[in-house]
Amino acid sequence: MNLTPRQRVEIALHGGYADRVPFTMYESKIPQCAAEREMRNRGLCIVQREVPAYLIHQPNVVTTQQVYWENGRKLVRTIHQTPVGTLSSLVEPAVFTNWIHEQLFKSPDDYKALLYFIRDQRFEPNYQALAEAQKAFGDDAIFRAGLELEPLQSLISGTWMDMQEFCIQWMENRDEILKLYDAIVEQRRKMYPIVAQSPILICNYGGNVTPEIIGLETFEKYYVPNYNEAAEVMHKHGKMLGCHFDANCRLLSRAIASTDLDYIEAFTPAPGTDMTLAEARAAWPNKVLWVNFPSAVHLESDDVVRATTIDLIKQAGTPNGLLMGITEDIPPHRWHDSCRAIMDGLDAAR
């Protein structure tokens, strides 16, 4: 069967199996080089997330940035001036991420400005740029859209409020938090049809949910309904919705099973989390599993990596609706050999 990397991924996302379990990597996790070219020739599919399905504008917020260096570190101060107050953040760019030194929210005095900031966002399609990028990249990649973080998660692991501050505010000023939550829900609803009508098949809605902080009741009340509402819009246009569940999922597993999500992306099997792949398959028999190969195993020998890959395929029970991915950084000295060993294991399990 002469299939392209993207075709294998799309078959798996629809619950099928072609000639092997697809192997994918985020575009930011693998540099362009001879080893990358070798793996793409073997069937590696790049997950391309850099071109958004929509652009965000804020017509009534004036945003400025100050870039400076301190002790050899680049720091970026972003200032948002709204008609009801000023917000600012301080971040340190670091390779594929940013270290956030100051969030926008610093005290309850910022609630009014943050609510205005959220409500002022405007969204417009970015379809032409997305279509052109897909055409240029060809079948070596699958493009994936994003719906930002879930409304409540935006206040936990986003750039507006840090996790500890959220927990304090959740207990002391829940009414104010829920005003922000409701405003974000309304804004997300404007995104759904734009993404659903874009030239893209798949979309992630948030992720990095930590059950030790959220708990089951909050997840069921403030996360599940948003997944289902977005999925309904996506499905009307033949598109698929998933979520980046890479943490412990046992507590949330039944609630996740009840959602209309099509795939569980970045699921990291034990020993990285509290669920094995076999347990995940049993918990979510109607979901596609897009696995993140356990990060700690990259440090093992190539033989162990290969054997772990084969064992994971066996745990899944069936290769249908199964994908193997890399969604986290790999130690620079290991990625060449570890990824080759994963592909060797996938080939052996065919």
Encoded amino acid at 293, one letter: F
| Both tokens assigned to 5 | 């990397």
Q: Which two tokens stand for residue 189?
A: 């609803």
Pair 214, 99 in one domain: no
pTM for this entry: 0.95
Residues 140, 102: one domain?
A: no
**What's the pLDDT at 1?**
62
The span from the CA of 245 to the CA of 280, in Å, is 11
What is the 8-class DSSP label of residue 14?
T
Q: Are 145 and 93 found together in one domain?
A: no
Same domain, 130 and 259: yes
Q: Count of domains in the chain?
A: 2
Answer whether residue 230 is part of any domain: yes
d(CA 277, CA 310): 12
pLDDT of residue 25: 96
Q: What is the pLDDT of residue 153?
A: 97
Element (H, E) at 5: helix 5-13
Q: First CA to last CA across the chain, in angstroms?
A: 13
CA 284 to chain centre: 19
Place of tokens 């029970």: 317
- The list of the chain residues with pLDDT below 50 reads none
Judge whether 76 and 90 are in contact, CB under 8 Å. yes
Provide the domain limits for residue 231. Answer: 5-58+121-348
Element holding 226 (H helix, E strand): helix 224-236
